[in-house]
């Protein structure tokens, strides 16, 4: 779980803690991690998921990001735009 440890170190650098983690299949090595405050996703970071992260950023900017309770690990983020 090297990617999990690396991600946790990255979050700690910014004073954040891991709230929800999706992905990181050993053979693929990709993931998205979400920082959640209350029921709102306030940040996301990932590895090898650039298109999804760009869509998540846009959804956050538009105020249309699903709540933490609505997150789906298999979500098609681009289709939500």
SS3 40: strand
| 1 band by pLDDT with thresholds 50, 70 and 90 | very low
Q: Residues 75, 77, 78, 79: is their CA dihedral positive or negative?
A: positive
- Looking at domain 2-80, its CATH architecture is 2-Layer Sandwich (3.30)
Residue range 31-42, pLDDT digits in tens: 788 888 888 888
| 23 sits in which H/E element | strand 20-23
Report the distance separating Cα 47 and Cα 6, nearest Å. 10
What's residue 61's pLDDT? Answer: 95
Q: Residues 35, 21, 74, 54: is their CA dihedral positive or negative?
A: positive
Which has the higher per-residue pLDDT, 7 or 50? 50
What residues does each domain of the chain span?
A: 2-80
SS3 76: coil
pTM over 0.85: no
Residue range 5-31, pLDDT digits in tens: 666 666 666 665 555 555 554 456 777
């Amino acid at each position: 779980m090297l990617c999990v440890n690396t991600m946790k170190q990255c979050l700690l650098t910014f004073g954040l803690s891991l709230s929800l983690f999706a992905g990181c299949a050993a053979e693929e090595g990709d993931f998205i991690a979400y920082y959640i405050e209350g029921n709102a996703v306030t940040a996301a970071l990932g590895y090898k998921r650039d298109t999804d992260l760009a869509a998540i950023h846009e959804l956050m900017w538009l105020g249309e990001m699903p709540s933490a309770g609505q997150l789906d690990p298999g979500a098609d983020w681009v289709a939500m735009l």
